[in-house]
Amino acid sequence: MDDLIKAAKAARTTAHAPYSKFYVGAAMRDEQGRVFGGCNIENAAYPQGWCAEPSAIAALITAGGKRVTEVAVMGNGDTLCTPCGGCRQKIREFANGDVKIHCCTEEGKLIRTFTLEELLPFSFGPENLA
């Protein structure tokens, strides 16, 4: 878990959040054990900004990763920064319900770990379309 938190912390330092000033770092592990970080990227046209989680997912998928097997997220200070609703669904596309999501402080201290199932119960996923 330490490498994941480290990557999220490093990614957070690159966040582009001049409007909210809420800097988020996320990291995702793929099925090969590789770790990918991502940050939130806001936009002067506010709704065009996006969260840290899709940045990390984009890096993982672009590198050929297929599954998300573990996640770490951190926001400002000690705030519990759980993935927003949209991010939960984006993670769900590539993750099973038992995937752990570690929510940490800005310094990388673990606050609480959730499973994706806890954060997104009775979810709709690719299997629903099979």
At residue 28, the 3 state secondary structure works out as: strand
117 classed as catalytic: no
Tokens of residue 26, six digits: 């996320």
Residues touching ligand THU, count (CB under 6 A): 13
Q: Could you say whether residue 84 binds ligand THU (CB under 6 A)?
A: yes
Tokens of residue 112, six digits: 């609480």
Q: Least distance in Å: CB of 128 to ligand THU?
A: 23
When the beta carbons of 63 and 84 are compared against ligand THU, the nearer one is 84
In this chain, which stretch among 51-59, 64-72, 103-111, 113-121 interacts with ligand THU, using CB under 6 A? 51-59
Give the active site residue among 31, 42, 53, 107.
Answer: 53
In this chain, which stretch among 58-66, 81-89, 111-119, 122-130 interacts with ligand THU, using CB under 6 A? 81-89
Spatial separation of the C-alpha atoms in residues 6 and 25, rounded to whole Å:
10
In angstroms, the first-to-last Cα distance of the chain is 33
CA gyration radius for the chain?
Answer: 14
Q: Could you say whether residue 42 binds ligand THU (CB under 6 A)?
A: yes
Within 8 A by CB and 6+ apart from 70, the residues are: 1, 4, 28, 29, 99, 100, 102
Residues that bind ligand THU (CB under 6 A): 17, 20, 22, 24, 40, 42, 49, 51-53, 83-84, 87
Active site residues: 53
